[in-house]
Amino acid sequence: MSLLEIRNVTRRFGNYTAVDNVSISVETGEFFTLLGPSGCGKTTLLRMIAGFDLPDSGQILLDGKDMVGTPPEKRPVHTVFQTYALFPHMTVVDNIAFPLKMAGKTPQEIKTRVADALDSVRLSNFGGRFPHELSGGQKQRVAFARGLVNRPRLLLLDEPLGALDAKLREEMQIELINLQKEVGVTFVFVTHAQNEALALSHRIAVMNRGNVEQTDEPSKIYGFPRNRFVADFIGKISMMNARIVEATPSHLRLNAGELGEVITAAKEGVKAGDDGVMAIRPEQVRISHPSEEPRLKNHFLGKVHDFLYIGDVTTYIVELSNGTYIEALLPNSSPGRATFFEVGDEVGVSWRHDAGIFLND
């Protein structure tokens, strides 16, 4: 039995349906992420799990018990917010101890648990400080410690890294992974940042307009998106209209209009004549001088339309002969100053026969 089961949950605000008949299960010890754009329903769903909001229909079961109707303070659940929500007039120790005092724990138990919580987030020497004396990362760790001190069955994290700068955010991602492993508490994490979800999660539920589009492991969400929304929302991807000419157990042969024949990976449930798009990630596309001998089945000529230098890699936007744009990622791995293709250069782009995927949804 799953630790958390969300069964056919719906939440409406007037005529607007924020969460539409959603069902999700979360296993014990899992780092589970709700991912999606603003307004997709992920925060509303998290608030219903916490008890801050109630569903119009459906069940939210924790250890098999329906939590709907149980007030937030009676649920073995704690929430960590993006804004930290620390009491400014309390020290770090008092902030962390607050949930234990509300639960009526003894002074000795409070002292022991707070010390353990501080140690788990590596802030043992900061107990006497006030929130204004801490950095953003330290405040976030205090919030994590307070969330874990009463040993919840479930820790809910509502975009907890959103207020941090890029470098600190990356550091905190690593700390969060290690913390979750050490304490063994089940995490349900809400974010709109795709890279963050891919880096942290055991599984991801991609949400859109109140629905769950796909639930899977990060590598499958990224490499085998179920539909165009998931493919386009997770990372960068190029798509071109295509029709299946031949469907075999080993591959699909597509007609991509003026571009001609394209070979992609096989897909179940499709047949010759189906229309859709051929989608491919930039890192799977090779870019080269037109004079180089093509060694891959999918090889086309184009012209560099634009490029973006990011230090370790350069992303090229290439216009193919049929007017379609495709992105290619080139590592800047050679020593010294990187050399670039310039805007207007004619180039060849190619990719493996099993690199692209066909999407008809």
Q: Which amino acid is at 103?
A: A
Mean pLDDT of 75-82: 87
pTM above 0.85, yes or no: yes
CB under 8 Å to 3, separation ≥6 — which residues?
Answer: 26, 27, 28, 30, 62, 63, 153, 154, 186
Q: Where are the domains of the chain?
A: 2-230, 236-359
Residue range 236-359, CATH number: 2.40.50.100
* Amino acid 172: pLDDT: 78
- CA 110 from chain centre, in angstroms, equals 35
Query: In the chain, how many H helices and how many E strands?
Result: 8, 20
pLDDT digits (tens, 9 = 90+) for 131-166: 999 988 888 889 888 988 888 899 999 988 776 777
Fold of 2-230: Rossmann fold (3.40.50)
pLDDT digits (tens, 9 = 90+) for 211-262: 999 999 999 999 999 999 999 999 899 999 999 999 999 999 999 887 889 9
